[in-house]
Structure 1
Amino acid sequence: MINKGLSKVGAFFLYVFSLIPLPVLYLFADLIFFLLYHVLKYRRKVVQENLRNSFPNKSIEELHQIEKTFFNYFADLLVETIKMLSVSATFLKKRYTVTNEEIVAKYEQEGRSYLIAVGHYGNWEWNTIVTPLMIKAKPLIIYKPLNNDVFNEVFKKAREKSGTEMIRMKLALREIIKRKKELTATVFASDQTPAHGDAQDNIMFLNQLTPVFTGLEKIAKSTNYPVVFCDMRRVKRGYYSCDYKIVCENPSETVELEITKKHVELLENRINAEPAFWLWSHRRWKHKPNLNNE
């Protein structure tokens, strides 16, 4: 009860903080960057190791610049995520644009539901709020709940404010099948670390043999829903774009891992083009590949 009460107090103060205008929040982000990078040195060793292993051909100076740019972006991402607790979807739509939307519009005109792969790149949180304003299909976001029930409910409510529906990962297939007569767009994180028991396999990603979640591919094949990738970019501070790219139009005709390799490759291409804006602080390679999956 005490922990729940403290969590509610914390959630209240986060909401109050979110009411501050975004330009002022970016001043706080500058302070957060200084604290994380210079004082607390938050996960700097994790970031440095991930960068070294992912880009063995880059110089120390190049890796250092990517690391520093990442922490600047990460501080911005923190305040932008808090801001979504109170901001309107219309406000975010001015800062988040979509191109190639005719790809998904075609599926919608044909009455076909589809799957969207996104990475932890740019601002994937704003994507959950803006997407319902950009497409006709009902967006279903597959997610893993936060450990803290209070904060999980707070951020779930924020993400669903414009029509998105959050679906727990373990219920994904059941919910998709239940809604097969509806027009839906189901969003999966393409770089999610698979937990024990999750559908997974090993592929090369950023120069490393990496366990990857294959649930999206399995669902795509069982439903034959087309798969697209949201190629997200950080245009400038506080502005993002998503360029839809086709991964597969007829999943039932693909060979094993074809879909997974394709959407992971598209994410890798984006990271290679602008490496600083991926979530390098995540311990993505903490689990060694299970070679039995080979």
Structure 2
Amino acid sequence: MKHILEYYLFKGIAFFVRLLPLGMVRWMGVVLGYAFFHLIRIRRSVTIENLRAAFPEYSTKQVKRIARESYISLAVSILEMLWIPKFTKDILSRELHIENPDLIEEKRRENRGVLFLSGHIGNWELMAFGVGKLLGFSYLMVVHPQNNPRVRDLVNGLRTSGGNRIVDMRLAGRSILRALSNNESVALLADQSAPRESIYVNFFGRPAATFEGPAVMALKTRAPILMCFCVREKDYRYRIWFEELEYDDLVGYTPENIAALTERHVKALERVIFQYPGQWLWQHRRWKHRLPDH
């Protein structure tokens, strides 16, 4: 019954959102973000705790400001995702500024596939939809499983509406290797908490269990890695850019190289989050596991 109620609530909100112009959708996101932070307070304590640990030098006022911005950013991103069917190519070209699209084409011409890595910053869903739509290519998206299969199907329908394919991260290994070997592109988010027995990398000063999959796939295939970032500007339009993550010096598929490459992409993401802390998903329990000997 809970899943059915969630499904119809999701459908109802999506229907209502698509009746509105984009500017009003974003305004609604701001209002909802304020409400969830100040009134509903879902995961507020987790958010505050994460920020205090990441920025110990910040005052309580600064921490709460970033936390509130994070809730607003998340709410705006969710509503914009629901508005995806209304995003025409003209609207996308107006709302998304892709700084260095030539880098993608350059890497695709190497015929080794391209591994796109990002995190939950800005609007990652709109970036995934918009980049392929504007630049004329598609990719395999590795997605986290959802508890509600009805809602999952609706969300995945939005994700694939631009021509992208999706694969459950629990079953993704062979699909990723096959896609890269066929010179296709693969996109995944690499900033969620991994199982307790995973690699631990310092993330904002604390060891965080981190998925080794991106490093494993890159070292096995030698596919170029492009870190991709999407940040919201003051006018609520987005700036998107790509950075190649170099790893030519890591020769061989070894535990040491896997750990080294994992640390590199974590640090690349950390640097951008540090610049735009209010746009990252601080509600996530990123540090829920501790090193086994702690």
TM-score above 0.5, yes or no: yes
Q: Relative to 1, partners in 2 of residues 1:99 and 1:218: Cα closer, same or farther, differing over 3 Å?
A: same
**Contact kept? 1:113, 1:137, Cα under 8 Å:** no
Q: What's the secondary structure of 2:150's corresponding residue?
A: helix
The reply on whether 1:18 has 2:17 as its aligned counterpart is: yes
Give the counterpart letter for 1:280 in structure 2: W
Deviation at 1:132, TM superposition (A): 1.3
- Of the candidates 196, 199, 202, which is equivalent to residue 201 of structure 1? 199
Q: What's the secondary structure of 2:238's corresponding residue?
A: strand
Report the counterpart of residue 266 of structure 2 in structure 1: 264
Report % sequence identity.
24
State the TM-score, normalizing by the size of structure 1: 0.89
Deviation at 1:262, TM superposition (A): 1.2
User: Comparing 176-185 with 15-24, which one deviates more in the overlay?
Assistant: 176-185
Report the counterpart of residue 127 of structure 1 in structure 2: 127
Report the counterpart of residue 173 of structure 1 in structure 2: 173
Q: What's the secondary structure of 1:78's corresponding residue?
A: helix
The reply on whether 1:157 has 2:157 as its aligned counterpart is: yes
Instruction: Find the aligned partners of 2:46 and 2:235 in 1 and give their Cα distance.
Output: 24
Report the counterpart of residue 97 of structure 1 in structure 2: 97
CA deviation string 1:112-166 (max 9, x = no partner):
3110110100000101211213446531111112111111111111111111111
Cα RMSD of the aligned pairs, angstroms, is 2.3
Deviation at 1:281, TM superposition (A): 1.1
Deviation at 1:108, TM superposition (A): 1.6
**Contact kept? 2:26, 2:79, Cα under 8 Å:** yes
Q: How does 1:1-294 map to 2 (within 5 A)?
A: 2=1, 5-19=4-18, 20-88=20-88, 90-135=90-135, 137-180=137-180, 182-195=182-195, 200-248=198-246, 250=248, 253=251, 255-291=257-293
Number of residues of Structure 1 aligned to a counterpart in Structure 2 = 289
Which runs of 5 or more structure 1 residues have no equivalent in the other structure? none
Give the counterpart letter for 1:17 in structure 2: F
Instruction: Find the aligned partners of 1:6 and 1:60 in 2 and give their Cα distance.
Output: 38
Deviation at 1:167, TM superposition (A): 1.3
**Contact kept? 1:96, 1:240, Cα under 8 Å:** yes
**Contact kept? 2:216, 2:258, Cα under 8 Å:** no
Instruction: Find the aligned partners of 1:44 and 1:5 in 2 and give their Cα distance.
Output: 27
Instruction: Find the aligned partners of 1:258 and 1:272 in 2 and give their Cα distance.
Output: 21
User: Comparing 3-12 with 181-190, which one deviates more in the overlay?
Assistant: 3-12
Deviation at 1:215, TM superposition (A): 0.5
**Contact kept? 1:18, 1:83, Cα under 8 Å:** yes
State the TM-score, normalizing by the size of structure 2: 0.89
Instruction: Find the aligned partners of 1:251 and 1:86 in 2 and give their Cα distance.
Output: 44
**Contact kept? 1:115, 1:226, Cα under 8 Å:** yes
Q: What's the secondary structure of 1:245's corresponding residue?
A: strand
Give the counterpart letter for 1:28 in structure 2: M
Give the counterpart letter for 1:37 in structure 2: F
Which runs of 5 or more structure 2 residues have no equivalent in the other structure? none
Deviation at 1:252, TM superposition (A): 5.7
